[in-house]
Amino acid sequence: MADVVSTLAAPHRKRDATAASATAIRPEAPRRALVVGASGLLGENLCRRVAETPGWQLTTLSRRPPAVAGSAHVSLDLKAHDHCLAHASALADITHVFFCARELSKGYGIDVDVNGEMLANLLDALADGAPHLRHVQLMHGLKWYGTHVGPVRIPAREDDPAHADSSFYLRQQEDLIRRCARSGWTWSTIRPHFLCAFATGSPSNLVLMLGTFASLLKEMGDDLWFPGSQDAFDAVTGCADIDLVTSAMLWAASEESCANNAFNIGNGDVFRWRDVWPLIAETFGLRPGPVRITDLPAYMADKGPVWERLAARRGLKPLPLDQLADWHFAQNNVFGLAWDVVPSLVKAHRHGFHEVVDTGEMFARLFARYRSAGILP
């Protein structure tokens, strides 16, 4: 399969010979990235990107160390202010922070206050202990515009005001902007929709959720029916490949022209579930089924033993069903969006980020990877 990530134009400005020579004479000091939430779906993939990128060094921060070799690790309880301050000295060489952490409660609940305090506690520690800090980046999303609540302006643009229910995004961004004004740091925020990646232990994972859902229906002898409404089946939406997103994160944190800006990031194409559904069905040897509005958390409540039998028969890794998919996330944040969700990507393009991904090829590639890893049949 051809490489699904294509670069239409170089994301960085070309340097003339004089500039290149000057850089050779005065090499830039290494950037030391602190990836916060390093053991999550996004965090682990970003850690790999940082570790593989020349000129970057990596420090990770999470409750459990991520599976990335050769990095320094800091274990902090971001909800404990005193604990963060007590360990501020561990952040002394940090130049760039990528804040990917979030606190979720059961049922995919998000506490605005807790997530706001987690960032504030870390920023207090950085103000005390990171004299070389230059840039802090927040990973947010299209909830800034209220896409999880109802129809929004199409396309959603970065200068659109935050929705009244923008999750914790507005609180975090306003706090960070105030801190940057005092400390001389710069900031950025990245706003993708539906992160798509290879990862386990991160149930709010679109691709693995879709593959798990299809595999369960096949095991039960059913067709691949759509669990949302007809409006959701017909709505225009999009998603973001994890490799594209991590590339955009380093770009936005590095380019001077990107400082103090928010950027929508996506694959560059859009789709309707009604058009993708037959492709997913074919991938798993199913027939596409009808629209069938379903309470997914209730429907899946007794399907754990079904998955265990399937996994044992097919020789899959013995992962519990609740580690593969969060059905509240699927119900409310995927199949419950009965309106178009289309962000504008113009701002990122104008600032120099031109990477794109074909979404259909991305789904095929990631499904194949989950199969080869023995996670999906």
Q: How many structural domains comprise the chain?
A: 1
Is the residue at 93 inside a domain?
yes
For position 69, what pLDDT does the model report? 67
- Residue 154 maps to which CATH number? 3.40.50.720
146 Rama class: left (phi>0) / alpha (psi -120 to 50) / beta: left
Dist CA 153 CA 356 (whole Å): 23
Domain, as residue range, for 99: 31-192+241-265+342-353
Is the residue at 299 inside a domain?
no
Q: Which of 123, 99, 100, 95 lies closest to 42 in space, CA to CA?
A: 100
Is the residue at 300 inside a domain?
no
pLDDT at 108 over 80: no
Is the residue at 22 inside a domain?
no
pLDDT at 76 over 90: no
Dist CA 83 CA 328 (whole Å): 32
Arithmetic mean of pLDDT over the chain: 89
pLDDT tens for 300-339 read 999 999 999 999 999 999 999 999 999 999 999 999 999 9
Q: Residue 70 — pLDDT band, cuts 50, 70, 90?
A: low
pLDDT at 177 over 70: yes
Dist CA 272 CA 237 (whole Å): 6
pLDDT at 11 over 90: no
Burial of 317 (0-12, 13-18, 19+ CB in 10 A): exposed
Is the residue at 245 inside a domain?
yes
For position 334, what pLDDT does the model report? 95
Is the residue at 6 inside a domain?
no
Is the residue at 153 inside a domain?
yes
For position 167, what pLDDT does the model report? 82
Dist CA 196 CA 45 (whole Å): 11
Q: Which of 233, 221, 227, 226 lies closest to 285 in space, CA to CA?
A: 221
Q: Residue 104 — pLDDT band, cuts 50, 70, 90?
A: low
Is the residue at 311 inside a domain?
no
Which segment of 192-201, 273-282, 306-315 scores lowest on mean pLDDT? 192-201
**Percent of the chain, pLDDT > 90?**
78
For position 165, what pLDDT does the model report? 87
Q: Which of 174, 170, 108, 101 lies closest to 139 in space, CA to CA?
A: 101
